[in-house]
Amino acid sequence: MGSGLIEIKRRMKSIQNTKKITKAMGLVATSKLRKVRRELDVNNRYYNSLSYVTDELMTALGDFKESVYIKGNNSEQKLFIVLTSDSGLCGGFNSNVVAYLNNNFSDDKLNNLVMVVGQKGIPYVKKRGFDTVAEYVDIADVPTIRDARTITEHAIRKFKAGEVSEVNVVYTEFITTVKQEVRVDKLLPFEIKEGKQNLNYTIEPDIETVFDQGMEVYLKGKVLNAMINSKSSEQSARMQAMDGATKNADDILDRLTTKYNRIRQSAITQEISEIVGGAEAQK
């Protein structure tokens, strides 16, 4: 019985150490979430303004539809920029993103190319049978325009070269701390919204230059916004996972404490019985 008590105490010590780690990681995730959410609030305002300016630019197009960003190309392949995490312990965050990709775009995996952003997403994507054309890792906790520029320019090069006919980004949109949704946004070719009136704008130096440069700025802004959404969702998922692990550790400790006290009480009762029995035998 003594060995049983020692084993339970050893298990309790191990779980207590694990609980300290999960609690600390939960606090770190909470701090990082608070930081990236502030950046997301600022970036959302920037992206909304950028989208408005881009839509206004579309009104000035008139009959100009010859840009490669609009007319596209005849390639049979499509590119998906899949945003995942560089570190684990974030619940089903990565598996949910890749599962969404697989559930919606697995009908033609040979022509659906994937650009993975985040170390942990690479094995998930390859396990599902998708071909990765690029892998970007070690993204900062708060993504920068520099990160977005590298990824976006790579995608634009493949699109302009006619290697892919579409560019999409698959990411987890941050809605609230407890709600995030995986979604896919089509980046290229750009679709002009119907119902816009052609306003009389004077464009300098020419519409081709302004449109092409404006589209590059818009696409980089869109990818950056998706990356910040993804990082916010990742930290939220990690915070929830670590909180859940800490609560599970508390539940296990409660059960082990009850078991330990029960065994200890039984041992004490047995010792008292033996003492009483010995005293009775001496009478």
pLDDT in tens, 200-219: 666 667 677 777 788 889 99
State residue 34's pLDDT score. Answer: 95
Domain limits for position 219? 38-238
Assigned domain for 280 exists = no
Asked whether residue 152 is domain-assigned, the answer is yes
Same domain, 194 and 232: yes
Distances (CA, A) of 184 to 104, 105, 120, 175, 229: 10, 11, 19, 15, 13
Residues 130 and 234 in one domain: yes
Residue 71 sits in the same domain as residue 114: yes
d(CA 130, CA 283) in angstroms, rounded, equals 85
C-alpha 230/C-alpha 247 separation (Å) is: 26
Rounded to two decimals, the pTM is 0.87
220 and 253 assigned to the same domain? no
Q: pLDDT at position 261, please?
A: 87
31 inside domain = no
One domain, residues 70 and 154: yes
Same domain, 50 and 170: yes
Q: Give all strands (DSSP E) within 110-206, no chain letters.
A: 112-117, 131-136, 166-176, 179-188
Of 107-121, 222-236, 254-268, the least confident: 254-268
Residues 225 and 251 in one domain: no
Residue 167 lies in a domain: yes
**192 and 269 co-located in one domain:** no
The answer to whether residues 8 and 107 belong to one domain is: no
Same domain flag for 207 and 77: yes
Structural domain contains residue 33: no
| pLDDT at residue number 68 | 78
> Which residues have C-beta within 8 Å of that of residue 98, sequence separation ≥ 6?
82, 84, 121, 124, 125, 128
Same domain, 59 and 78: yes
